[in-house]
Structure 1
Amino acid sequence: MNRPPFETGHVMSWPRRPLTMPHVLLAALLVASSTATAQTPVPDGGTPAAAPQESAPAEAPPPAPAAPASNDGAVSREELEQRLEATRQELREDIRAQTATQAVANNSDWQEEWTEEKRKLELFTLDGYLRVRPTLFYKFDLGKFAPPSGTPSGRQFWTRSPRTSAERTQAGANMRFRLDPSFNVSEDVRVKVQVDALDNILLGSNPDSAYSGDGRNTFTLFSENQTPSNSAVNAFKDSIHVRRAYGEVTTPVGILRFGRMGSHWGVGMLRNDGNCLDCDYGDTVDRIQFVTEPFAGWYITPMIDFNAEGLSTERANSLGEPVDLTQSDDSHSLVLAIARRDTEQQQRAKLDNNQGVLNYGLYFTYRTQRYATLTETGTPFEDVSPGTGANPPAFVPRGGTLYVPDLWFKYAEKKFRIEAEIAAQLGSIDGRALTANDPTAQSLRIAQFGGVLQTEFHVIENKLHLGVELGFASGDKAPGFGNYPGRTGSGTGGNTTAGDVEGRQYSCDTGGCGDNAIRNFRFNRDYRVDLILWRSILNGVTDAFYVKPGLKYSIAEGFDVFGSVIYSQAFYAESTPSSVSRGLGLEADIGARYITEDGFLAGIDYGILFPLSGLKDLGNTGQDLSTAHAVRGTLAIKF
């Protein structure tokens, strides 16, 4: 590639060009005016005398006054020097323009290559992190007896050791390498991607003896190498996952985004993008959205979400463009977000100036689905090759409608912060059929409510912080918590009965529905409340409320210690495994974090759960539950 003409260290001979008439005139004027500066005009048209030689200040005679300009066109020396400088500048600019034009003409491919190289170097950004998390869980089964073989999944409490129930400790370490690149095509057009490599891979889970095929190692005892994860070969998932990819275009009236992207709102109670360092899940949506700011600080964002497309030709035409075979089984959402919000820089500026920060907004979702497909009745179209016969899939009327309002509020001053989010999911399902044997005319009602209130007080600025958090998620008297309604209950037809931990929150059979309402609100699983009960054992707050006082103390810059106590209780005793008591647990968590300016983070957390009588087995009120312990470590590098 040709170098730019003014690059450091590059010697270049300029091509000779003939002087044009303007150049000759300018040069003549320059010579004439230069000669004029060597003489001093004499009043009354006298002969100019030679300029006096410079001498010592003590011997120098006083200077003669400057002669005024005469009417015959004579000018002063200062005026001549000004004209001379203007002429020189004009000549320099003309020569510079001519030589630059000639350089570009002789290097026609340089500009394109240089621009492309500059784009590659300056218009690509890369963020992400690498984390490793050692964990140790002790007595997470709470000392309960192991369920007998064949127990429905809704009755099971915690995954135990498959070798012996006497093993009460489960320990290991997992890792994730996340990349968040941004390809900035221009200042206004960019493509953003999120890629996870070795996502939550358990360290040591891919020894080379597992399905290696070369027979080098028969016993894992001799394994000294980890092979890349390959789904359905030596692991349950691949080494690399492309989670998100979307385009972003800045226009004069707003920002357009389209593709597969994260979704987050408020404190993350309901919609959480999972971008925190300790997150494991994250909401990813297929969406088209437009963000506009009609007034300063006010944002209006209409969105269209593609939640489920149903039957398509994706498998049959795996190398071509897939086709959505019917729109009747689609589930789409119309979303509108309206918010009054300050940027992070604006918030910091207001707080530094002892001003209050008031932000709030509404996130409203309207979702529908007319029909659903029951693949149990035949081979769906996407499972067959083109041109072959297959039993058509059965469609059942779903008639689902969902309204989801979500309100968020935040007020902060230099000494305290209060933030709240409250949401509801309201709607109906006209046909609840999941299998070919289910009636198609039985309907369900949806009425769920949940909320979080966070308070934080800065007792000692930049040192001691105290806070209290309250949270609730609605429920009802249906057995089980309902975080996993797809699990099979111990009752007839998969319904839950007293003593179940999980399962559906309605009760229907071929004769009708004894309970046709779904009332349990579910927190997002990436909304962290504690270390043991809600995070690990029950996997999300639902059908309960909790109270969480806590504190944080900064020992030094970047080094914090913190702790909290969480009391949790179910709204209805019938929802708990005991079916007679509402108390769930009292948990105490403490931890420490060390963060450096260059992105390194190290942390340790310890939690202890004192289970309450609501977690006892059905009919075993005298059961002694064991105290559970958890140790979680974090080593990470953010970039």
Structure 2
Amino acid sequence: MPDVDVDTEEEELVEEDEDLDVDAAPADDMDLLSEAEPPPSSDPTLANWTAPRSVVTLNGYFRARGELYDNFFLGRGQDYNGNYDATDAPFARFVPAGRIAHTDGVGLGCDRGDEAGASSPCDSSDQLRFANMRLRLRPTIALSDDVKVHMMVDALDNVILGSTPDVGTYSGPTGYTRTPGAPGVPVDSFATTLNPPLSDRNYTRDSIYVRRAWAEVTNRGIGQLRFGRMGNHWGLGMLWNGGDGIDSDYSSDVDRVMLMTKFAGFHFFGAYDFAAQGIQSATDDLRSLPMDGTAKDDLRQFVVGAARREDEDEANARLQRGGWVLEGGLYFAYRTQSWSSAGVTEAFPSTGDYFLVERDANLFMPDLWGRFRWGGLRLEVEMAGIFGSIGNVQNGTYEDDPYDVRQFGFAFEGEYRLLDDKLAIRLYTGFATGDQDVNGLSSQEDMLTQRTADRTLSTFQFHPNYRVDLILWRNIMQRVAGAWYLKPGLGYDIIKNPFGQIFGVRADMIYSRAAQETQAYGADPNLGLELNFSLYYQSEDGPDLMDGFYASFQYGVLFPLAGLEFPAGDTRARDGTAIDIGNAQSMRLILGVQF
């Protein structure tokens, strides 16, 4: 099922009934505020009794995940001679490093043999095995029920377990890098501890990421103001996804100023987004204030929308009485950019030259969402499009050759629960328009360059955090794009109680087909058939429904069809015959604690 958390920011935006309708703060919160001591001041001459201490709450999760990728490159990415084909995206990313040939001239490699300089790959394994972790903290500082500051901080974000020893090797942006040996650790076999990850020093990223920080100010008679860097989620998360689930990896985050109000049962909102500022100016003084180098290259985004969403307690009460609940809304974004500084030679103009290229982009992005619930039935759909034009798609030159943008996609989720809501029968499907004039379906490939004189960009891409499977779209392609899928499934909760404890099993089958067969790798629209199975458990240890220990074991197998094979006549094989592709398998173990 798609990994969409119900506590994302856009859903918070349309679920602020309590904040907007309650006349006074809860007594417990006011008691805490009246008894709290003020925070200390940095200036010792200032009296510190002028304001009460704010109330701080902390939510989040810790997770650890074990991953096994078996033959995710499907036998592609490397020919029978053992030659590594880095151009065979996206499959080449999953070729194990041990399969790549090493020069034998100075005794390197795993099987030196007798011939100096011979290729010597270490093994023929198809598997990648690793584990990672993340601690996500989501503190809220509430000066009152009407004034709050929120944050989201990730620590050890997807750090591979065992990846930062005293001495080791990691793959950085410029290739493999070996960290210097520590005293007493001449080689990695003598590693004694793990160091904190530091970007470009011993790892590819830092230990701590501050992903979001924003404030909410509520006037109960008017509405709510939000400003800062916040999550952006809408509907099923097909286009805009907050990525707040315990198994999420990607998210939509925006620098935004937003106003929201409620009228006649509808929530109305408008926002201005600082989508991209382009070139920045800086000085050698680290205390100086960074500035936007020019407004010419800014990508500006304007958002308006309206939604009707029932209070969840009232909706559940209506469903229990045999009634139905209908919700939905429209999210509309408009983007405009006149120029781009993508041609900059360095990160800052103080250290290199830069230039602007004309972009002349205007994009209209409507997104409709609707949900119908009746008894154990849930029907939910999201439809979105990206329409407009881009005057120039080049970064280093200007070509008076404008492109039209015509992209459309939808996702549908149907679910029926029975046997006290323990048995779930599901049917999910989705579609993303393709482009017959480009090669490939992965975000790792060039989706802009047209093979003909046509100048229409029509490949629609789902958000990478809207997951529909375990292998093909989640990992190999990284997101649904230029294809449609059909996903029937069954789930059964063996244990399920109203306090949040749950133990169950699930099985899904996913058939995937390219929207344009010329965009598929084997010039055939049939991409693959995938089977997914999962076993999951959630405890009831915390005060909220989702708090407690979480565990899940998942298994998937992908049977690639003709659309993922090499096209007829491909001569990458040693003897000129076609290279047979193989099945891919995935095993995952997720352990987590939510709080």
TM-score by length of structure 2 reads: 0.80
SS at match of 2:473: helix
Are 1:134 and 2:66 counterparts? yes
| 8 Å Cα contact 1:506/1:517 also seen in 2 | no
Greater relative contact order (Cα 8 A, min sep 6): structure 1 or 2?
A: 2
CA deviation map 1:501-521 (0-9, x unaligned) = x3224328xxxx723211000
Match of 2:514 among 560, 570, 588: 570
Q: For 1:554 and 1:151, how far apart are their aligned partners in 2?
A: 44
Q: Which moved more, 1:257-266 or 1:184-193?
A: 184-193
Asked if 1 retains the 8 angstrom alpha-carbon contact of 2:77 and 2:86, the reply is no
1:275 aligns with 2:244: yes
Segments of structure 1 that go 5 or more residues without pairing to the other structure are 1-110, 385-389, 488-501
Selected match of 1:192 from 143, 150, 155: 150
The 5-angstrom pairing of residues 177-216 of structure 1 reads 177-210=135-168, 211=179, 214-216=182-184
Q: In the alignment, what sits opposite 2:482?
A: 543
Q: What letter corresponds to residue 415 of structure 2 in structure 1?
A: E
Would you say 1:367 and 2:335 are equivalent positions?
A: yes
Structure 2 SS opposite 1:418: strand
Identify the match of residue 466 of structure 2 among 523, 527, 533. 527
Q: What letter matches 2:94 in structure 1?
A: T
Match of 2:385 in 1: 424
Residue 11 of structure 1 corresponds to none
**Which residue pairs with 1:71 in the alignment?**
none
Structure 2 vs 1, CA of residues 216 and 400 (structure 1 numbering), >3 Å: closer, same or farther? same
Does structure 1 retain, via aligned residues, the 8 Å contact 2:86–2:92?
no
Structure 2 equivalent of residue 175 of structure 1: 133
Out of 519, 530, 539, the position equivalent to 1:596 is 539
Decide whether the 8 Å contact of 2:181 with 2:187 is kept in 1: no
Asked if 1 retains the 8 angstrom alpha-carbon contact of 2:166 and 2:191, the reply is: yes
The counterpart of 2:56, out of the listed 112, 119, 124, is: 124
Instruction: Tell me by how many angstroms 1:156 deviates.
Output: 5.0
Alignment partner of 2:259 out of 281, 290, 300: 290
Change (3 A) 1:128 1:138: same
Whole-Å separation in 1 of the counterparts to 2:399 and 2:492: 58
Q: Alpha carbon RMSD of aligned pairs, Å? A: 2.3
What are the within-5 Å matches in structure 2 for residues 31-50 of structure 1?
Answer: none
* Shift of residue 479, structure 1, vs aligned partner: 3.6
Q: 2 CA distance for matches of 1:349 and 1:170?
A: 48
| Correspondence for 1:629 | 585
Alignment of 1:185-584 (within 5 A): 185-210=143-168, 211=179, 214-252=182-220, 253-296=222-265, 298-314=266-282, 318-376=286-344, 382-384=349-351, 391=353, 393-435=354-396, 438-484=397-443, 502-507=445-450, 514-557=453-496, 558-579=502-523, 581-584=524-527
Whether the aligned pair in 2 keeps the contact of 1:479 and 1:576 (CA below 8 Å) is no
Q: Deviations over 1:151-191 (max 9, x none)?
A: 43647544211221612111111000000000112221111
Pair member with larger Rg: 1
1:610 aligned residue (549, 553, 559): 559
Deviations 1:518-568 (Å, cap 9, x if unpaired)?
Answer: 100000000010000100111100111000001110111210111100000
Distance 1:369 1:405 in 2: 18
Please give the secondary structure, in 1, of the residue aligned with 2:194: coil
CA drift at 1:350: 1.8
Work out the number of aligned pairs and report it: 498
Task: In structure 1, give the amino acid aligned to 2:504.
Answer: D
Shift of 1:128: 0.4
Given that residues 410 and 420 in structure 1 are in contact (C-alpha distance below 8 angstroms), is that contact kept between their aligned partners in structure 2? yes
d(CA) in 2 for partners of 1:524, 1:424: 13
**Is the alpha carbon distance of 1:317 and 1:288 closer, same or farther for their aligned partners in structure 2, counting shifts above 3 Å?**
farther
The corresponding residue for 2:96 is 161
Change (3 A) 1:317 1:426: farther
Cα distance, 1:375–1:479 mapped onto 2, change above 3 Å: closer
CA contact (8 A) 2:216 2:227 kept: yes
> C-alpha displacement at 1:329, in angstroms?
0.8
Q: Aligned with 1:591: secondary structure?
A: strand
Paired with 2:361 and 2:493, the residues of 1 have a C-alpha distance of 50
Match of 2:29 in 1: none
Q: Which amino acid aligns with 2:38?
A: E
Aligned partners of 1:396 and 1:440 also within 8 Å: no
Structure 1 contact 506–516 (Cα < 8 Å) conserved = no
Q: TM-score, normalised by structure 1?
A: 0.74
The unaligned stretches of length 5 or more in structure 2 are 1-32, 40-48, 101-123, 169-178, 497-501, 542-547, 571-577
Structure 2 counterpart of 1:571, one-letter code? A
Give the Cα–Cα distance (whole angstroms) in 2 for the partners of residues 344 and 190 of structure 1. 23
Q: Percent identity?
A: 35
State the one-letter code of the partner of 1:197: A
* 1:26-78 deviation line (CA, Å, top 9, x unaligned): xxxxxxxxxxxxxxxxxxxxxxxxxxxxxxxxxxxxxxxxxxxxxxxxxxxxx
Distance 1:589 1:381, change over 3 A: closer
Where 1:394 maps in the other structure, the secondary structure is coil
Return closer, same or farther for 1:305/1:560 CA change in 2, 3 Å cut-off.
same
Counterpart in 1 of 2:594? 638
* 1:545-594 per-position Cα deviation (integer Å, ceiling 9, x unaligned): 00000111011121011110000000121111112x11100001011111
Q: Are the equivalent residues in 1 in contact too, given 2:76–2:91 (CA < 8 A)?
A: no
Moved more, 613-622 or 321-330: 613-622
Give 1:18's aligned residue: none
Distance of aligned partners of 1:458 and 1:620 in 2 relative to their CA distance in 1, 3 Å threshold? farther
